[in-house]
Amino acid sequence: MAYRWPERCATLFGKSLAMEKRMPTLLYSPTSPYARKVRVLIRECGLAKQIDEQTALPLDDPEALLAANPLGKVPALLLDDGSVLYDSRVICAWVAAQVAGHGDSGDAAHYWQAQRRAALAEGVIDASVALVMEGRRPSAQQSDYWIGRWRNAIARSLDVLDGEVDALHDQIDAITSAAALGHLDLRHGDLNWRDRRPALAVWFDAFSQRPSMQATVPG
Ligand SMILES: N[C@@H](CCC(=O)N[C@@H](CS)C(=O)NCC(=O)O)C(=O)O
């Protein structure tokens, strides 16, 4: 593979991380292929010494992981400014961008947080669809354990989105959030997601008026 990144890492990424900043920390599980992808990329970039790695087994619901990623999934990357990135695609893109020398400005931080928020909303969609699929299996075969995990992941993630609602404008994170909330309304009215999340409810009702949303109402 013709990776040219390691050379650039030493001058760009390596320098900025090695100076006064704390090291980013990757929360990972040793068996997760999503985490492995990130860990391989980190090594291909020559960044193994600049990114700390800590084991977090998602099915144990470690507090640090739930605080970092309300979806309760690995990998998650804790950045030195206290912000977090997930999922694996976002982390990989961030690593590549650091190496390419993009990624240290305030605009970049906004961009990465929007990508992270889009991954969060996508995780809500994944869990919402998984719940529907599980509900279509014979009831004796349905897993209370997974239904509980998905419902909890949705609840935690919506709490976070509710707290970040001011950042939802017309980017991919907003669109993905709207698609997620629309699916919850369509399939999981029993979750009453608007209860306890008034800001997100107001935001969604306004966003739902956009012609693009009106033209794509599921049905
Ligand atoms: N789309 C996510 C998927 C991550 C994922 O599903 N990780 C698994 C481990 S392989 C996990 O943490 N599962 C816990 C759960 O589903 O509750 C990514 O690309 O990072």
Model confidence pLDDT, tens digit, residues 163-176: 999 999 979 999 99
Residue 120 is predicted with a pLDDT of 98
Helix (H, G, I), strand (E, B) or coil at 210: coil
- The pair phi, psi for residue 169, each rounded to 5°, is -115, -110
Tokens standing for residue 115: 């990508």
Domain ranges of the chain: 5-99, 106-214
Q: Which atom of ligand 1 is nearest to the CA of 87?
A: 20
Q: What is the pLDDT of the chain when averaged over all its residues? A: 91
Residue found under tokens 């400014």: 81
Mean local confidence (pLDDT), 171-184: 98
**Rounded mean pLDDT of 24-52?**
97
Structure confidence at residue 3 (pLDDT)? 44
Are 5-99 and 106-214 in the same CATH fold?
no
- Note the pLDDT of residue 170: 77
The CATH number of the structural domain formed by 106-214 is 1.20.1050.10
Taking alpha carbons only, the member of 172, 168, 175 closest to residue 203 is 168
Mean pLDDT of 129-158: 98
CB-based contacts of 17, cutoff 8 Å, min separation 6: 23, 24, 50, 80
What share of the chain has pLDDT > 70, as a percent?
89
Q: Is the Cα torsion angle 37, 41, 44, 47 positive or negative in sign?
A: negative
Say if residue 5's pLDDT is above 50.
Answer: no
Predicted confidence (pLDDT) per residue in 62-91, tens digit: 999 999 999 999 999 999 999 999 999 999
pLDDT tens digits for range 82-115 = 999 999 999 999 999 999 887 667 789 999 999 9
Select from 73, 89, 176 the residue to mutate for testing ligand 1; criterion: most ligand atoms less than 8 Å from CB: 73
Confidence (pTM): 0.91
Q: Give 128-180 as a DSSP string.
A: HHHHHHHHTS-GGG--HHHHHHHHHHHHHHHHHHHHTGGG-SSSHHHHHHHHH
199-219, pLDDT tens digit by residue?
999 999 999 999 999 999 998
Euclidean distance between CA atoms 73 and 208, whole angstroms: 29
* CATH 2.30.42.10 is the classification of domain 5-99: no
Protein residue whose Cα sits closest to atom 2 of ligand 1 = 87
Give the residues across from 27 on adjacent strands: 54, 76
**pLDDT value, residue 103:** 60
Say how far apart CA 174 and CA 176 lie, in whole Å.
5
Binding-site residues, ligand 1, Cβ < 6 A: 29, 32, 34, 58, 72-75, 87-89, 149
Cα(73) to ligand 1 centroid in Å equals: 4
Q: Whose CA is nearest to atom 1 of ligand 1?
A: 87
Sequence-distant (6+) residues with CB within 8 A of 146 are 130, 134
